[in-house]
Amino acid sequence: MADQQTMVAEPQVDIKKQQKNTPKKQPRFHVILWDDSDHSYDYVVLMMKQIFRHPIESGFQIAKEVDASGRAICLTTSLEHAELKRDQIRSFGKDDLIARCKGSMSATIESVNE
């Protein structure tokens, strides 16, 4: 018997098609917590733990940052998730440790590219 060689055709890959099929990354957004004098460090630490699942140490670092600089980034995520977390901060409720406190802290979202 004679040796027979079998050749297999290699599939041709169109590079332009591959690039089209690559999903685009969603834009990223920061959830920003804004400082005020009506909320305690304990309140911020508890809120960071309950809303973002940050450990106590991270919550304390965020509380120090918002107190020192007037704002702190709590999370960077997709737009929809950032909107949810901003709304959760805004509806967290008042700080029972401070009598003059009337409501939740302020939070906004901003694009990472800004």
Cα–Cα nearest to 83, from 31, 25, 28, 27:
31
Domains of the chain: 27-111 (3.30.1390.10)
Beta bridge partners of residue 73, listed in sequence order: 32
Question: 23 or 33, which is more confident?
Answer: 33
Mean pLDDT of 87-101: 94
Q: Region 31-52: what's the mean pLDDT?
A: 96
Q: What is the pTM of this model?
A: 0.77
pLDDT over 90 percentage in the chain: 74
Element (H, E) at 96: none
The closest alpha carbon to 65, from 32, 90, 89, belongs to 32
Categorize the per-residue pLDDT at 96 as very low, low, confident or very high, splitting at 50, 70 and 90. Answer: very high
For the cut 70, the answer to whether the pLDDT of residue 1 exceeds it is no
> Using one digit for the tens of pLDDT, what is the confidence trace for 72-93?
999 999 999 999 999 999 999 9
